[in-house]
């Protein structure tokens, strides 16, 4: 059964509790992304890398710790960077930040390419405007890669439709904030994720904050086949948690 939290726990990471040194904080932030990059056999020799839609930048930082000059390309309508994330990004001179509206405009590779590695993990792939947008992105990424370059794609498989109370998924919880997601299936290929965030104010009262976004429902086999059709050689396809997948394609020429 799909659990939205699996995606956030595996492909995204939470910033550590305050109080650590910048070095300790950086090591904590990049631990999970580094493990995934190692599992995907991303080399440590460095080069140039693109963290595509990688808010809040933890994969760009992980790539930087592996010797890459990284470009962090935010989707454009993501939440503002948190102060702690900005602090780490600002102390890492090999990470360059930029933005692009991938929801409304075709992907155009930012300055810094061709890239040896492109990483797209989290919700970025699922937020594209339809399957045609996914196909166009794959073709553009292939063109932005150097020969022998790798494309690492991590995403949640939302193809299984949940029913009843299973559509309410518990997210992050703390003494001052409780997050719940509600899944509303709006079409064969899409699901609308509603964010229900209860926050405690200074007076101890709880207030509800909300938002929503539409995500694509992409099967891992479909993603792998489209990478092949775009010209990639598929080198890896594996599950990192229940219903969270990683696909790796390589450019041969």
How far is residue 6's CA from residue 173's CA, in Å, rounded to a whole number?
15
Q: Which of 138, 174, 166, 165 is nearest to 52 (CA)?
A: 138
Per-residue confidence (pLDDT) for residue 253, from 0 to 100: 82
Q: Are the C-beta atoms of residues 125 and 136 closer than 8 Å to each other?
A: no
Per DSSP, the three-state class of 10 is: helix
Regarding whether 185 and 71 lie in a shared domain, the answer is no
List own/partner pairs for 225-231 with CB under 8 A and 24 or more apart. 226/131, 226/134, 226/135, 226/138, 227/138, 227/151, 227/153, 229/135, 230/135, 230/138, 230/139, 230/141, 230/142, 231/139, 231/142
Same domain, yes or no: 203 and 228:
no
Measuring CA to CA, which residue among 137, 102, 243 is closest to residue 183?
243
CATH number of 177's domain: 3.10.450.700
State residue 85's pLDDT score: 62
Q: Distance between the two ends of the chain, CA-based, in angstroms?
A: 39
Tell me the average confidence (pLDDT) per consecutive run of 10 residues in the chain, 253 residues long: 39 34 54 86 86 79 85 68 61 64 74 88 88 94 94 93 91 83 93 90 89 92 96 90 88 88
Residues 104 and 229 in one domain: yes
32/153 same-domain check: yes
Write down the pLDDT at residue 122.
81
Check whether residue 124 and residue 142 sit in a common domain.
yes
Total domains in the chain come to 2
- How many angstroms separate the CA atoms of 6 and 94, rounded? 30
This prediction's pTM: 0.80
What pLDDT does residue 1 have? 36
Range of the domain at 129: 4-158+218-250
| pLDDT of 88 | 62
Residue 87 is predicted with a pLDDT of 62
């Amino acid at each position: 059964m799909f659990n939205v939290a699996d995606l956030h726990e595996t492909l995204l990471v939470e910033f550590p509790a305050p109080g650590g040194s910048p070095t300790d904080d950086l090591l904590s932030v990049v631990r999970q992304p580094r493990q995934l990059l190692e599992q995907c056999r991303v080399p440590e020799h460095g080069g140039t890398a693109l963290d595509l839609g990688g808010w809040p930048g933890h994969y760009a930082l992980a790539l930087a710790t592996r010797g890459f000059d990284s470009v962090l390309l935010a989707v454009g309508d993501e939440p503002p960077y948190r102060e702690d994330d900005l602090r780490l990004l600002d102390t890492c001179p090999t990470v360059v930040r930029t933005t692009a509206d991938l929801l409304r405009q075709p992907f155009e590779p930012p300055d810094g390419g061709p890239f040896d590695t492109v990483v797209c993990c989290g919700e970025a792939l699922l937020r594209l405007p339809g399957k045609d947008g996914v196909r166009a992105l794959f073709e553009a990424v292939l063109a932005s890669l150097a020969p022998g370059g790798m494309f690492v794609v991590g995403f949640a498989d939302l193809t299984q439709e949940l029913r009843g109370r299973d559509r309410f998924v518990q997210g992050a919880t703390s003494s001052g904030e409780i997050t719940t997601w509600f899944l509303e299936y709006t079409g064969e290929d899409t699901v609308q994720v509603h964010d229900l965030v209860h926050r405690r104010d200074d007076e101890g009262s709880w207030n509800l904050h909300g938002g929503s976004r539409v995500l694509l429902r992409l099967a891992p086999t479909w993603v792998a086949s489209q990478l092949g059709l775009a010209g990639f050689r598929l080198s890896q396809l594996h599950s990192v948690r229940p219903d969270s997948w990683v696909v790796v394609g390589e450019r041969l020429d």
